[in-house]
Structure 1
Amino acid sequence: MTVQPNSIEARDAAYHLHPYSNARKAEAEGSLILEEGEGIYVTDNTGKRYIEGLSGLWSVAVGFGEQRLIDAANAQMQKLPYYHAFAQKSHTPAVELAEKLVQMAPVPMSKVFFTNSGSEGNDTVVKLLWYRANAMGQPQKKKIISRIKGYHGVTVASASLTGLPYNHMSFDLPLPGIMHAGCPHYGGFAQEGESEEQFVARLAQELEDMILAEGPDTIAAFIGEPVMGAGGVIVPPEGYWAAIQAVLKKYDILLIADEVICGFGRTGQMFGSQTMGMEPDVMVLSKQLSSSYMPISAVLVNDRVYQPVADESDRIGTLGHGYTGSGHPVAAAVALENIKIIEERDLVGNAARLSPLFLSRLKDLTANPLVKEMRGIGLIGALELKQQGDAVGVAGGAMAAACMERGLIVRNLGDTVALCPPLIITEEQMVEMFDIYADALASLSF
C-alpha cells in the first residue's frame, strides 16, 4: 500500500495507535479505511466493496446498515440519550434487556450486570468472584482456571485469563492466581496414537490433577468459550464439556461460559452452551448482543453467585464496582431491537440451515496440499494452513492478503484463517464468499 501525503491513510498513520497491529508497520503502510456497510458487505474509501467474512470482529449478526437498529438508537437518543445505573437508578431499556436476557438464558440465571465489552465483562466476573469468596468467608478461594489458547479479553484481569502469548508478552501478565489448563484442540495437542476419547479423558484428568495440586478450596471457577474463537476456531471433541463439568462439580468449582463470540446464534443454537451441553453459573455476552452497533456486554449470574454478592454489598453498604456506561440506554435499546431481529427473522435457524453448506465448502478445501486441518461448527469455521519454515503466520497472512485483494475480509490467527460471516448471509452469498476464499487459497505458492 502506498500512502499519499495528507490522505486519510496518512493521517491515520500519523495519529492512530491501532489495537492488534504492528505500530511501525501501520506507520509505514497506513491502513484499510472502511467508509460504508450494507448487509454482508463493506466498502472502503476508494469504492472497493468486500464481503465482511468475519462479521467485523465475529459480531455483526444482522449485517451492516440495519435500519431498525439505526432507528432504535435515534429514538432512544432523542428520549433519554444517557443515564447511569449507579445508586439505584435505572431506565426502561436496561430493565427490559436484563429481563429479556434472564428469560433467554439456557439455564436459570438470577441477575444481569451490564458492562461495555467482553473484556470488561470478564474483568467484572473476576472481581465478583473475589468479592463472593470474601463474602462467604473463603478468602483463599479465588484462583481461576482458564485454558491455553482461550480468549477472554485484554484488560489486566481478562488478558490474564486469555491463554495467548501476545496478550501476555511485555505486559507482565498473567496475574498470580490465574492458571491455564490444556487446550481441547485434538488436532494440535493429542499425543501419538491417542483417540479423541482418550484425549478428552486426559484433559479431564490433567484438570483434576491441577485442582488437587493447587487445593480445591483455593479454586473459585473455570472459564471457557463453548467453542474457542480467537485461539483458532477450536471445536472441542465430543464429551469434552461433560468430562470437564464432572470434575468441576466434584470439587464445587463454578463454571463461567464466555459466550462473547458464540452467543445469539453463531453455533446454530441461541447459545454455544446449548450446543455444547454446558450448564454455567455465569455467562458473559457481548458482540452479537447488539451486532456491535453499540458497545454493550452483559454478565449473567445465577442465584448461587448472586446471593453472597448481595449480602456483601449489604454488609459494606454498596457494591463498589460499575462503569459510567453500564447499561447505557442507547446501547440497551439497540440490543433489544437486535435480539428482536434475530428472533423474528430466525437468524439462528438460518445459521443451522446453512451450516452444512458452510462446513462442506470448508472441507472441500482440505484437498489443497497447503491445508493442515479444517475446523468449524454452525457459521464459524477456519482452515489451518501448514506452517512455512520457522515463521508462524506466513501462510495465514498470505491467505488473508489474497482474500482481501479479491474482495473478502477474513482474519488470520497465525496460520489459521477464520470465517464467521453475518448470520443474515444467504446461500448465494455464501457461494460467492467461498469462491473467493477458494481462489485465494489456490493462488498461494511457497
Structure 2
Amino acid sequence: MTHSPNSPEARDVAHHLHGYTDARRHEEVGPLVIDRGEGVHVFDIHGKRYLEAMAGLWSVGVGFSEPRLVAAATKQMSRLPFYHTFGHKAQGPVIDLAERLIGLAPVPMSKVHFTNSGSEANDTVMKLLRYRSNALGEPARKTFIARAKGYHGVTLASASLTGLPNNHRSFDLPIAGIRHTMSPHWWREALPGETEEAFATRCADELEALILAEGPETVAAFWAEPVMGAGGVIVPPATYWPKIQTVLQKYGVLLVADEVICGFGRTGNWFGSTTYGMNPDVIVVSKQLSSSYLPISAILINERVYGPIADESKRIGTFGHGFTASGHPVAAAVALENLAIIEERDLIGNVRRVGAHLRARLDALAGHPMIGEIRGVGLIAAAELVIDKPAKTALDVPGRLGGMVAGIMQDKGVISRAMGEAIAFCPPMIITELQVDEMVAVFAASVDEAKVRLGL
C-alpha cells in the first residue's frame, strides 16, 4: 500500500517498531491510524468508524472517551501530578485504591503492590515468591509452573511463563526454573471419546506428575488465567479448577490467578476467580482496572505470602523492589473512578445479560462448515475457524485463515483479533444487544466471504 511521504502512515513506517507485528510486512502495508474513540467505537484518521470488538486489548471496559475518567485524571493532575511510594511515602489515590481492591477481592487478601502493566506485575510476583522462599528457609523452592497457551506478559520472566511459542522463539526463552503443563482446551486437546470430566482429571494428573518429577519441595507456584485470553479464549471444563486446586493444596504450591483480562467484570463477576471457584494466594490485575486509560496494574497478596516477605524486609532493612510510577496518583485516581462507574452503572449485570445474547448469536452460527467451536463466558468469546470440520484443521499455514477473516472484518468496520484460527470477541462492557448483533453479523459475513475467496 502506497502512502504519501508525509502521511501519518508513512511517518509511522519510517520511525516506529510495533509490538506483535511483522516488521517487514509493516513496511509494505503501514498502520491503521486511530484518531479518536467514542463508546464502543473508534475512528481512523480518514473518518471511518469501527466497532472495537476487542475493547482495545481486552481492556477498555467502560468504553472510549468516558468524561468521568477524563475529569478524574484532570483533577488529580492539577492537584498532585506525580509522587512515588518509596521510603514510607504515599498519597491519597494510592491509599484509596489499595483499600478498594482489598475490599473487592474474591478471597481474603492482605496487601496490594502496584506496578504499571500485567507483564511487570507477573515479573514482580516471581521476584516476590523467590524472596518469600528464601525468607522461609526454602531456597530450593524456586520453580514456577504455567500452562501451554497461557499468557502472562512479555518481560524476560513473564514471557517465560507465557506458553505461546512465538513469545519464546529467538528470545532464548523460557529462562530456567519455568515449566509448562497442558492447556485445558477440551475441544482441541481431548483424546478420542474422552469426556470433559475425564479430560479435567487428566489435566490435574499431568500437573501432579510434573510437580513430583520436579520435586514438590522445589515448586513455588502455579500461574493461570481463570479463562485463557490471548491463547484463544480457552474456557476450562467445569471440574477443572477443583481438581487442579486439590493437587496444589496437596503439595503446598501457591496459586497465582492472572486476572489481567478476566478481572473487573469480564466473566460476569468482579473476578474470574469467583466465576470458577478459585482460591488464589496472589491475584494480578491490570487492563480493566483503569479501562487502560492510564497504565496501572496491581498485585494482591494474602497473608500467607505477605508475612514472610515483611519479615525478610525487616531482616534486610528494606524491600528492595519498586518502580518510579508504582501507584501513580493520576493512574490510581482514574482507576478508582473506573471502578465506581462499573459498580454504579451495573456493567457486570450488563456483561451477564448482553454476554448471554452474544453467546446465543454465536451459537446460532455453530452449524457453519467453517466454524469448529464456539466458546466463551460472560462478555468474552471466540469462534474457532476450520476448513475440515471433523478433523478440526484449517489451512496449511497456521493462522492464515484467522488472519484472513479478521482482515475482512476490519474492512467491514469491526476490529477483532485472530489468535491462530480463533476469532476473539471482547467488546467494551457497555455494549448493547443491538451492537452485538452488528458485530456478529459482520463476523458471519466475513466468514462467508473467506469461504468464497478460498473457493470452498
With the length of structure 1 as denominator, give the TM-score of the two structures: 0.99
Task: Find the counterpart in structure 2 of residue 432 from structure 1.
Answer: 438
Alpha carbons 1:289, 1:296 under 8 Å: kept: yes
Task: Find the counterpart in structure 1 of residue 115 from structure 2.
Answer: 115
- Output one character per residue of 1:322-372: Cα deviation in whole Å (capped at 9) or x when no partner: 101100000000000000000000000100111221101111122211111
SS of structure 1 residue aligned to 2:366: helix
Task: Find the counterpart in structure 2 of residue 131 from structure 1.
Answer: 131
SS of structure 1 residue aligned to 2:374: strand
Give the aligned residue type for 2:196: E
CA RMSD of aligned residues (A): 0.7
Distance 1:32 1:187 in 2: 34
Distance 2:228 2:93 in 1: 31
Give the aligned residue type for 2:280: P
Distance 2:440 2:185 in 1: 24
Task: Find the counterpart in structure 2 of residue 240 from structure 1.
Answer: 240
Distance 1:369 1:444 in 2: 12
Task: Find the counterpart in structure 2 of residue 400 from structure 1.
Answer: 406
Deviation at 1:183, TM superposition (A): 0.4
Distance 1:390 1:142 in 2: 40
Deviation at 1:222, TM superposition (A): 0.4
- Output one character per residue of 1:20-60: Cα deviation in whole Å (capped at 9) or x when no partner: 00011111211000001000000000000000000000000
SS of structure 2 residue aligned to 1:412: strand
With the length of structure 2 as denominator, give the TM-score of the two structures: 0.97
Distance 2:350 2:373 in 1: 26
1:240-389 correspondence runs (5 A): 240-386=240-386, 387-389=393-395
Deviation at 1:244, TM superposition (A): 0.2
- Output one character per residue of 1:360-406: Cα deviation in whole Å (capped at 9) or x when no partner: 11111222111111111100001111144321111101110110011
- Output one character per residue of 1:175-234: Cα deviation in whole Å (capped at 9) or x when no partner: 111100110000111111111111011111111111111110000000100000000000
Q: Give yes or no for the alignment of 1:144 onto 2:161.
A: no
Distance 1:162 1:225 in 2: 11
Distance 2:4 2:441 in 1: 33
SS of structure 2 residue aligned to 1:367: coil
Task: Find the counterpart in structure 2 of residue 193 from structure 1.
Answer: 193
Give the aligned residue type for 2:94: A
Distance 1:174 1:363 in 2: 37
Q: Give yes or no for the alignment of 1:156 onto 2:156.
A: yes
Distance 1:320 1:90 in 2: 17
Deviation at 1:440, TM superposition (A): 1.2
Task: Find the counterpart in structure 1 of residue 450 from structure 2.
Answer: 444
Alpha carbons 1:3, 1:29 under 8 Å: kept: no
SS of structure 2 residue aligned to 1:170: coil
Alpha carbons 1:263, 1:285 under 8 Å: kept: yes
Give the aligned residue type for 1:434: V
Deviation at 1:3, TM superposition (A): 2.1
Task: Find the counterpart in structure 2 of residue 420 from structure 1.
Answer: 426
Alpha carbons 1:81, 1:330 under 8 Å: kept: yes
Task: Find the counterpart in structure 1 of residue 10 from structure 2.
Answer: 10
Deviation at 1:16, TM superposition (A): 0.4
Alpha carbons 1:184, 1:234 under 8 Å: kept: yes
- Output one character per residue of 1:36-94: Cα deviation in whole Å (capped at 9) or x when no partner: 10000000000000000000000000000000000000000000000000111110000
Deviation at 1:163, TM superposition (A): 0.2
Deviation at 1:2, TM superposition (A): 2.9
Q: Give yes or no for the alignment of 1:390 onto 2:377.
A: no
Task: Find the counterpart in structure 2 of residue 213 from structure 1.
Answer: 213
Percent of matched pairs sharing the same residue: 60
Q: Give yes or no for the alignment of 1:182 onto 2:182.
A: yes
Distance 1:359 1:429 in 2: 14
Give the aligned residue type for 2:70: I
Alpha carbons 1:110, 1:303 under 8 Å: kept: yes
Deviation at 1:4, TM superposition (A): 2.2
Deviation at 1:127, TM superposition (A): 0.2
Distance 1:232 1:316 in 2: 43
Distance 2:177 2:394 in 1: 36
SS of structure 1 residue aligned to 2:365: helix
Give the aligned residue type for 1:208: E
Deviation at 1:260, TM superposition (A): 0.2
Distance 2:12 2:101 in 1: 38
Deviation at 1:436, TM superposition (A): 1.4
Deviation at 1:444, TM superposition (A): 1.2
Deviation at 1:285, TM superposition (A): 0.3
SS of structure 1 residue aligned to 2:72: helix
Moved over 3 A (4+): none
Alpha carbons 2:116, 2:296 under 8 Å: kept: yes
SS of structure 2 residue aligned to 1:444: helix
Q: Give yes or no for the alignment of 1:26 onto 2:22.
A: no
Distance 1:186 1:259 in 2: 21
Distance 1:357 1:441 in 2: 20
- Output one character per residue of 1:117-150: Cα deviation in whole Å (capped at 9) or x when no partner: 0000000000000000000000000111100000
Alpha carbons 2:211, 2:219 under 8 Å: kept: yes
Deviation at 1:273, TM superposition (A): 0.3
Task: Find the counterpart in structure 2 of residue 66 from structure 1.
Answer: 66
Task: Find the counterpart in structure 1 of residue 389 from structure 2.
Answer: none
Distance 1:423 1:274 in 2: 18
Give the aligned residue type for 1:263: G
SS of structure 2 residue aligned to 1:172: coil
Distance 1:77 1:225 in 2: 34
Distance 1:430 1:195 in 2: 32
Task: Find the counterpart in structure 2 of residue 409 from structure 1.
Answer: 415
SS of structure 2 residue aligned to 1:366: coil
Distance 1:322 1:172 in 2: 26
Give the aligned residue type for 1:350: N
Deviation at 1:432, TM superposition (A): 1.4
- Output one character per residue of 1:7-30: Cα deviation in whole Å (capped at 9) or x when no partner: 100000000000000011111211
Distance 1:124 1:97 in 2: 19
Alpha carbons 1:84, 1:325 under 8 Å: kept: yes
Structure 1 alignment gaps of length 5 or more = none
Distance 2:395 2:75 in 1: 55
Give the aligned residue type for 2:425: L
Alpha carbons 2:395, 2:401 under 8 Å: kept: no
Give the aligned residue type for 2:128: L
